[in-house]
Structure 1
Amino acid sequence: MTDPDQILNQYEGKLVEAQRKSDALRESLANLRVMERSADGQIVVTVNDAGNVVDLKLGNSLQRRDGDTVAQEVLRVLQAAQSRVATTVQEAMSPLLGSDSEAMHFMMDKLRSAQPPPPPQYVPGGGGYGEGQPRLGAIEDDTPPPPPPVPPRPQRPRPPQDDDDDFSDKGFLR
């Protein structure tokens, strides 16, 4: 027969260990940052474990560029940083959760579904996009879409054919 005090002590030990792991996970995630640079190094975006922007640095040479172009490049760099969050979290959490644990798989599935995929043809940390590739936001066709078709007017209901034999109590103003 097992001693109830021994079982209680083992249970308390497991709770203390779980609390320690939980605190370590929380601290690790709170300090996690993913930084991504544009190809020319003028845009630097830093996101946290949730993919939220925590820092954005823009170089002075961007003042001479078109605002829309800069905005598109900022969004591309942001998307690239956000797409790396799941991998960075996995690298940070593997020692605590185990790389093949059910908790790790669950967390990674949730993170990957919440973050955007990396932009196509983007080389993280510099290099930019491949030559001749269409840019994000580039207009493929300048023609506006055709207007929607006009819906047909509803037809007025037709009166019954045998009006001569109508002995209903309805008035003539319908």
Structure 2
Amino acid sequence: MPEIARRAAEAKARLQHVSATASSADGAVTVTVNTSGALQELSFGPRADELPRTRLAQAVLAAAKRAQVDAAQQLTAIMAPVIGPDSDAMHFLQEQIPAPELPEEAEKAPRWEFAAETPPPPPVRPARPPRRDDDEDFGGPILRRGL
């Protein structure tokens, strides 16, 4: 019992200091989470100013998910000596930690996307038919008549 109590106290002390930090590949975003995956810190690098808001939000979420996976791995590594790496308690703990899907890292440089189709050319005006001078039937144009 004293050995188990010692390992439990040691695990408790280590768990209080567990955090995980992850950054986007381009350095635009850095996040830190605690053992429960809660966001503790969020910072933006200079590259963040160049990203559209949707891409920046995706980078924050991707970094947070990677940090959460790291924190969960630290948690199970700390608890394994206390409860046993293959015990029912460890299996229960692992079941309580959802395995988030790790998103792929966004590209380092912005990618400009263009429409797959090029816009159609402007409509071509039909050529004007040759002008017929209808004024000949009435003695020519009015403005050329001498008054």
TM-score range, shorter chain: 0.5 to 0.7
TM-score, L = length of structure 1: 0.53
Which residue of structure 2 lines up, in the alignment, with residue 63 of structure 1? Answer: 49
Q: How many positions carry a matched residue from both structures?
A: 107
RMSD: 2.2
Matched, 1:78 2:78: no
Whole-Å separation in 1 of the counterparts to 2:88 and 2:21: 28
Identity among equivalent pairs (%):
30
Which residue of structure 2 lines up, in the alignment, with residue 22 of structure 1? Answer: 8
User: 8 Å contact 1:36–1:44 — kept in the other structure?
Assistant: yes
Which structure's relative contact order is higher, taking Cα pairs within 8 Å and 6+ residues apart? 2
Whole-Å separation in 1 of the counterparts to 2:36 and 2:12: 13
Which residue of structure 1 lines up, in the alignment, with residue 22 of structure 2? Answer: 36
Q: SS in structure 2 opposite 1:51?
A: coil
Structure 2: which 5+ runs fail to align? Answer: 108-147
1:144-159 superposed matches below 5 A: none
The one-character-per-residue Cα deviations of 1:105-151 (angstroms, maximum 9, x if unpaired) are 11111123xx52322xx2xxxxx258xxxxxxxxxxxxxxxxxxxxx
Matched, 1:117 2:62: no
Letter in 1 for 2:101: P
User: 8 Å contact 1:43–1:77 — kept in the other structure?
Assistant: yes
User: 8 Å contact 1:49–1:89 — kept in the other structure?
Assistant: yes
- Whose Rg is larger? 2
Aligned in 2, Cα 1:95/1:17: closer, same or farther, shift over 3 Å? closer
TM-score, L = length of structure 2: 0.61
Q: SS in structure 2 opposite 1:50?
A: coil
